[in-house]
A = this chain, B = another copy of it.
Amino acid sequence: MKGKITLKHISKELDVSISTVSKALKDSPEISQETREKVQAFAKLYNYRPNNIALSLKNRKTKNIGVIIPEIVHHFFATVIEGIEQEANASGYNVIICLSSESFDKEVINMEMLANGSIDGFILSLTKETQMKKDYHHLVEVINQGMPLVLFDRIADEIPCDKVVIDDEKGAFDAVNKLIEVGCKKIGLISTVDYVSVGRLRTQGYLKALIKNNIEVDQNLIVKIEDVAHASEMIAPLLDCGVDGVFAVNEAFAMTAINLAHEKGIKIPSQLSVIGFTDGELSKYASPALTTVSQNGHQIGQEAARMLIEKIEEESEVFQTKVVKTKLIVRKSTKN
- Can you offer 28 A-B residue contacts whose CB atoms are under 8 A? A1-B144, A2-B144, A3-B146, A4-B117, A50-B116, A51-B116, A51-B117, A52-B116, A52-B117, A52-B118, A71-B82, A72-B78, A72-B81, A72-B85, A74-B78, A78-B78, A82-B99, A85-B98, A89-B98, A94-B114, A94-B118, A96-B96, A252-B281, A255-B285, A256-B285, A259-B285, A281-B281, A285-B286
Q: How far is the CB of A85 from chain B (nearest CB, A)?
A: 5
Which residues of B are found within 8 Å of A281, using beta-carbon distances? 75, 252, 281-282
Q: What is the CA–CA distance of A99 and B49 in the complex, to the nearest angstrom?
A: 22
Total interface residues on A, CB under 8 Å, equals 55
Q: How many copies does the complex hold?
A: 2
Q: Is the CB of A94 within 8 A of B113?
A: yes
Q: How far is the CB of A197 from chain B (nearest CB, A)?
A: 23
Q: Is A79 in contact with chain B by the CB < 8 A criterion?
A: yes
Q: Is the CB of A262 within 8 A of B282?
A: no
A1-44: which residues lie under 8 A (CB-CB) from chain B? 1-4
Q: Is the CB of B3 within 8 A of A145?
A: yes
Which residues of B are found within 8 Å of A57, using beta-carbon distances? 53-54, 57
Closest 9 CB pairs of A and B: A51-B117, A255-B285, A52-B117, A53-B117, A73-B78, A2-B146, A49-B116, A52-B118, A53-B56
Q: Is A270 in contact with chain B by the CB < 8 A criterion?
A: no
Q: What is the CA–CA distance of A256 and B259 in the complex, to the nearest angstrom?
A: 18
Which residues of B are found within 8 Å of A56, using beta-carbon distances? 53
- Proximity string of chain A (140-182) to chain B, C-beta cutoff 8 Å, 1 when within and 0 when not: 0100111000000000000000000000000000000000000
